[in-house]
Amino acid sequence: MSDCLSTQAWVYYNPVRINAGIGILRRFPELIADGPALLITTAGFTRRGMTDKIKGQLGKNRVIVYDQVTPNPELDALDRAASQLKDHKIKNIVALGGGSVLDTAKVLAVTLPSGLAEPLNHVLRQGHAHKWSSRIPVIAIPTTAGTGAEVTPFATVWDKSTHKKHSLTGEFVYPVHALLDPELTISLPRNETLYSALDAISHALESLWNRNRTPVSEAYALQALKLANEALPAVLENPDDLDQRARMQNASLLAGLAISQTRTAIAHAISYPLTIRYGVPHGLACGFSLAEIREYCHHHLGDALNSGIVAETMKLLHSLDLGSELTKYNLPGVDRIIGLETLAQDRTGNFPILIDNAGIGEIIVKSMV
């Protein structure tokens, strides 16, 4: 693969307005239009007083709370939420949380105004053609540093009944505002800090080894890796370092901007069955194979992927010993993993070289040593 060719046609488009900085959360009411606001968050944030704080900022009577988000949002639960909330005439959605909260908000933003009964069952599970053509504006406030979901036009929906992972996509799935306040990430426990950072690193690397990459996505991805290379070890060592938390949050944002153009590729394809069937956290399920993917194909990769920045990221990944983190999960043998239906169907096509199941099996085996 050569580096991006100037002769190749490409487009850059990302409509999300980004507001970032320490303490910026206090300014979020300015971004909200009149009318009822739906706050989407988790029961944990409600317990810790964040829901009351936001109600206080916006006015108690304006805020409808949905705090039942659980990790890896499930298709039927999202359809039930749409049906519960559809009569509230919601004018704004505020999403406060990690990737699952942001994805839930992005889904409800387009399903609530769609007028469909059981919208996800109808469109994603049953496969009826539908264009999401209107939305409720979303203000995405990430509390982890990793998913980049605040700037992407996709939301992941999991269908446990069929062991399938769907991606809801389209122009209207983009949030309108992303609000990045590093203070929100300071209390993130070690594992969540690590796993979400691995997700950001996966996004950056996968947008580099990607058929759809452009000069813009490449620039974002390399800067994301540069920031993460320094910030991840620093925040694991000293979780209260606000400056490094801000760098890690910026790394996540930049990696999100990169995949908003390219989508992800092979490490995400490997991750999905590990998450849906065995509960491996998303970032770990993506991150554990990155070093071996690069090892497997580095002769085919261009300058950007053989740069000093990427070499530093590989050193960092090796130092984290992710293979042994995976032993906490009751994973089957590699033959079972590569035979799982979610592995074959998604994302491997974005990878710039053809890789078969035997190649993927080799990567997984070496990654788990």
Q: Which residues are near Zn ion by CB under 5 A?
A: 199
CB nearer Zn ion, residue 150 or residue 199: 199
Rg (CA), the chain: 20
CB nearer Zn ion, residue 119 or residue 281: 281
Determine contact, residues 270/280, Cβ cutoff 8 Å: no
CB nearer Zn ion, residue 81 or residue 270: 270
Q: Supply the DSSP symbol for 33.
A: P
Q: What sign does the dihedral 130-134-135-136 (CA atoms) show?
A: negative
CB nearer Zn ion, residue 199 or residue 292: 199
Residue 284 Cβ, how far from Zn ion at the closest point, in Å?
11
Residue 72 Cβ, how far from Zn ion at the closest point, in Å?
12
CB nearer Zn ion, residue 119 or residue 142: 142
Residue 200 Cβ, how far from Zn ion at the closest point, in Å?
8
Residue 102 Cβ, how far from Zn ion at the closest point, in Å?
12
Q: What sign does the dihedral 264-278-251-202 (CA atoms) show?
A: negative
Residue 12 Cβ, how far from Zn ion at the closest point, in Å?
21
* Residue 328 to residue 343: CA distance in whole angstroms: 21
Among 240, 223, 225, which residue's Cα sits nearest to residue 185?
240
What is the number of the residue whose Cβ is closest to Zn ion? Answer: 199
Among 75, 66, 173, 169, which residue's Cα sits nearest to residue 120?
75
What is the DSSP track for 300-341? GS-GGGGSHHHHHHHHHHHHHTHHHHHTTS----HHHHHHSH
Residue 274 Cβ, how far from Zn ion at the closest point, in Å?
13
Determine contact, residues 94/139, Cβ cutoff 8 Å: yes
296: CB partners within 8 A, 6+ apart? 355, 359, 362, 363
CB nearer Zn ion, residue 66 or residue 209: 209
Structure tokens at 253: 């944002």
* Residue 109 to residue 91: CA distance in whole angstroms: 10
Residue 31 Cβ, how far from Zn ion at the closest point, in Å?
26
CB nearer Zn ion, residue 103 or residue 199: 199
Residue 282 Cβ, how far from Zn ion at the closest point, in Å?
6
Residue 302 Cβ, how far from Zn ion at the closest point, in Å?
23
CB nearer Zn ion, residue 112 or residue 257: 257
Determine contact, residues 27/161, Cβ cutoff 8 Å: no
Where does residue 291 fall: left (phi above 0), alpha (psi -120 to 50 degrees), or beta otherwise? alpha
160: CB partners within 8 A, 6+ apart? 74, 75, 276
CB nearer Zn ion, residue 67 or residue 292: 292
